[in-house]
Chains A and B, each alone.
Chain A
């Protein structure tokens, strides 16, 4: 069973391949999309009335915010420290003068982590409801659980930056997250915290790892860190990455390369 809905200014697709007998998959999907709506109400930087926007304006104290917002902000701060500042949700407040503001640009913006975090929670909801094998794709950030068919892995394509209907790589994975941050879809919306200017070191960065919230944030951090970030992430246990450069090179960490499979499956 599949469902795709617009939310967060993008589209979230859920593909349930297997569930235990008697599981109410449609009901679970309803609950998942209701959860995504709640996340949007709390975290969106594209609307004035969300908790994140109110905190950014100084109207709401973090201590008074919802548990979800406090959890995410704390996690964002951990990643900021871990990435030596390359991931920083306050960079919007320090955007350089030449940066053309876009509607979602905000002084506090956890978007680089919250989508992955919300999808991981949705994956837990589906599992609790009895779904055994499924993928969730939130605008390019992917969580997979179980096996798409017995004895097989999920084949996750990494999109080609300049050809929307093509992929640059394919990885075979189970029970993990795959997040991508890139400049080709919405323009230069990742700002370098060192300069307040757009990060231009990489065209895109994709991260595989067990926690999609972290994979999502690391992907954003890698766009800032550039090739050195790939070397950094080889030391982060459980995470692997691939980057595409403006020079049309594909760079993969050894862990990522191990997941790579040929683009066309033998049974295609």
Chain B
């Protein structure tokens, strides 16, 4: 049973979170939002034959899963709390007649409390490179708002001069 739960968490966890993210606009700021990029993502399913849900889910923090059976054969299975790059996630699977009928998020990472526009869970890696000063062939320049004096020294001013005099 615990292996089944791990599979549910691993493959449906992201989906369940997506479904759970209704417009959850908050007026308060995230007080702290530590970078957790070094943790592995939680999207990979556990290896086949994995003995426990805890060891099967990458980066998981072990918490025993619990199963509750209600009258009518409707069972809820709480998965382990899994550490993801965004924080801890715990998912509840609801099974009826041997079929998965619902997946609910029990714990959501706090910094996922965002708008309904969220389109993915795991989040892609950021491209990271060293800053280089480039001389470029460009049409227009975006930058922090220059003052009128700063404009005179700017690349945009050079572009404007070239265009106006040509």
- A residues contacting B by CB (< 8 A) are 2, 4, 6, 9-11, 13, 15, 80-82, 84-86, 115, 135, 137, 139-142, 144, 148, 154-161, 163-170, 178-186, 193-194, 204, 206, 225-228, 230-232, 234-237, 244, 248-254, 256-257, 263-265, 267-268
Contact = CB atoms under 8 A, between A and B. Distances in A.
Given A159-B143, A206-B142, 11 more contacts: A81-B115, A84-B26, A86-B29, A139-B151, A140-B141, A142-B142, A164-B150, A180-B143, A182-B144, A236-B115, A237-B117
A204 B131 CA distance: 12
Interface string B135-147: 1111111111111
Contact of A160 (B127, B131, B140, B151): B131
A257 B129 CA distance: 11
B117 A236 contact: yes
Contacts of A181: 144
Contacts of B35: 227-228
Interface string B110-132: 01011101111001111111111
Contact of A82 (B31, B115, B123): B115
A140 B142 contact: yes
Interface residues of B, number: 55
Contact of A264 (B28, B137, B158): B137
Given A84-B26, A227-B35, A170 B142 contact: no
Contacts of A256: 127
Interface of B: 25-31, 33, 35, 111, 113-115, 117-120, 123-148, 150-151, 153-160, 163-164
A237 B120 CA distance: 10
Given A185-B145, A253-B126, A157 B31 contact: no
23 contacts: A2-B163, A11-B148, A11-B157, A81-B25, A81-B26, A140-B142, A140-B143, A141-B145, A154-B139, A155-B139, A158-B141, A159-B142, A159-B143, A159-B154, A163-B133, A164-B150, A167-B133, A204-B143, A204-B144, A227-B35, A230-B126, A232-B111, A254-B124
A265 B137 contact: yes
A234 B134 CA distance: 26
Query: For chain A, what secondary structure do more than half of its interface residues adopt (helix, strand, loop), or is it mixed?
Result: mixed
Q: Report the 9 A-B pairs with minimum CB-CB distance, sorted nearest first.
A: A159-B143, A182-B144, A263-B134, A157-B138, A166-B133, A185-B144, A263-B136, A268-B137, A11-B151
A137 B156 contact: yes
Of A2, A11, A80, A186, which is in contact with the most chain B CB atoms at under 10 Å from its CB?
A11
Contacts of A170: 134, 136, 138
Contacts of A232: 111, 114
A160 B130 CA distance: 12
A232 B132 CA distance: 25
B131 A244 contact: yes
A237 to B, nearest CB: 5
Contacts of A237: 117, 119
A27 B30 CA distance: 48
A209 B157 CA distance: 24
Given A140-B146, A159-B155, A250-B130, A235 B123 contact: yes
A264 to B, nearest CB: 6
A22 B54 CA distance: 71
Given A6-B148, A84-B113, A155 B134 contact: no
